[in-house]
Structure formats: C-alpha cells, structure tokens
Amino acid sequence: MVHSRYAPDRGLQARMGLTMFLLGLVFVAFIAILVAVLTAFKAASGSGIIVIAVLVGAAVAFGSFFYSDKIALATAGAQLVEPTDGPDAARIHGVVDRLCALADMPKPRIAISPQPMPNAFATGRNADKAVLCVTTGIMRQLDDRELEGVIAHEMSHVAHRDVAVMTIASFIGIIAALLVRFGFYSELFGGGRGGRGNNNNAPFVVVALAMMVIGAVTYAVSFLLIRLLSRYRELAADRSGALLTGQPSALASALTKVSGAMAQIPTQDLRKAEPLNAFYFAPALKPDHTSLSTLFSTHPSLERRLQQLSDISAQLGR
C-alpha cells in the first residue's frame, strides 16, 4: 500500500493475495492441460498459437498497466484541468488539495468529463501517475461534503494500488479469451484444409476445439474471481474513505444521490459509459437483484454499501 494516512485494510490485502494465488493455480492448470492436449495429438502448431496468445496478452496487459490513465480519459472524453480553468476546476482542485493534505498523498492529476451522468473514477499505475476524473453531472449533484466523500473513496483505490492488482489479475483472462478466439478462427479457417472427410485433419480440429473449451472455462473462472475481488475493493474504498474523512454519512448521501440521479439518465447513454464500469464510483448500469446478476457485478449492491457506512457511522459515534 502507498504510504498514506488511509487505514490499512488487511481484509483487502488478504483477498488480493488469495485472488492472485488462485489465478496462478488456474493459469498453471490451464497451461498444463493445453500442453497435455497438444502432446496427445502431436500438434506442434498449437504451441505456436499459445505462444502468440501469451505474447499478445502480455502486450495488452502492459498497455493497460502503463497507459490506463490515458485510455480511461479518452474513453470518458475527459480533459485535464488546472485550478484556473473555471469554477468547476477550482472547486474540485480545492477538494482534492484538502484530501491530499489529510491523507498525506501526492496530488493526482485532475480531469473533468462533460457527461451528465454523475460519476467519478481514479486510475493510474501508482500514486505519482494517478489521475482523478469527475463528470460535470456529479459536480452538479453533490455538495462539497458529499464530493469530498466520493473523492476520498477514489483516492483509496490509488492508495491500495488497485489498478496494478486488477491489471495483473486480468492477464490470465486476456490470454484465455485470446485462445478461445484463436481456436475458433483456426478451426474455422484451418479445419477444412484437405477437404471434408480427410481424417488427417481430425487432430487439428480436436486441438482447436480443445483450446476453445479450455480457454472458455479458464476465462469464466478468472472472470468470476476478478469480479468477486472488484466488489470487495469497492467496499474497502468506501470504508477507507469514510474513516479518512470521518464522515460516512456524507458518502452515504452521495451514494444515494448518484444512484437516484443515474436512474434519470437514458439507458443508451449509460451503455456508452459501461466500458468504465469497473473504474466508476457507482456502476453505470445497475444489475437486477438476481443472484446470477449479482455474481457478475463489478460493485456491491447499494444496500450493502449503505449498511456498511451506517455501521461505520455507529462505530465512530461511540
């Protein structure tokens, strides 16, 4: 964790470590099964596909890690601002300055996205490269206390190095997804070589299908593990932000306002913002209350977050 006055979260650290360990086991099993299949069918070409998938996956993960700030800002259509760039810029800089002094953290770069959707996110590979982005919508919806609670939540993600952990954790899923795609196109465009009914082509088809199935299963497992960690890290950021400011009720109020205002935004606009769901303070599209939807969600339910903040408020009041 970055040196700061944010309360250390042993539960988050333990879950990060456990998730990385489980993903490591999944990766080892993934490669071992693929190698066994390739060996059984003496399919040397499949080894080349695996190497390509690993290299491409590494390149994607590398780009996500080092350029997450630029990618996120471009996706949100946000622009970096200085305190002199208008009243909104001066206001958000003032809030961030207070929190940086309180948390003893380097000040992140600040950006504003001209979106009516009320939301915020922070990203960057470390505290020195971090960027904090707020939308014009959230600036209009929240007062300074509530905005401070949201920013404290987002800066907690930076303090706990969430971006680095989530990027590394996503590496296995990226490789698995690539192998599914490579296996599909290999079977589609290579499976017919030599004509139908050519038995010499059977091993090629089997290997391609095996890569698709193994890759799909590996992707599904890694996806669920990452989503589980993502939901917990949002609760951890709520908790750390509320303890830092000492005002959990302000963060709870912000959550309630943002969730209510989000319901007024056209669904089409929310779907455009969905690629940044994992980064956002609140999800652009709220899941229904089915267990399957909750399992796939990047964020815990609003009720769960408000209950935790209520518990913190009660503890601080004792």
Q: What is the distance between the alpha carbons of residues 218 and 201, in angstroms, rounded to a whole number? A: 26
Contact 149, 96 (CB under 8 A): no
- Asked whether the beta carbons of 143 and 240 are under 8 A apart, the reply is no
Tell me if residue 154 is catalytic. Answer: yes
Q: Is 118 exposed, middle or buried (0-12, 13-18, 19+ CB in 10 A)?
A: buried
> Cα–Cα distances in Å, from 68 out to 61, 123, 203, 240?
10, 7, 41, 23
Q: Tell me, what amino acid is at 226?
A: I
DSSP annotation of 128: G
Q: Which of 82, 146, 148, 154 is catalytic?
A: 154
Residue 133 Rama label (left phi>0; alpha psi -120 to 50; beta): beta
Q: Residue 217 CB: number of other CB atoms within 10 A? A: 16
Residues that are catalytic: 154
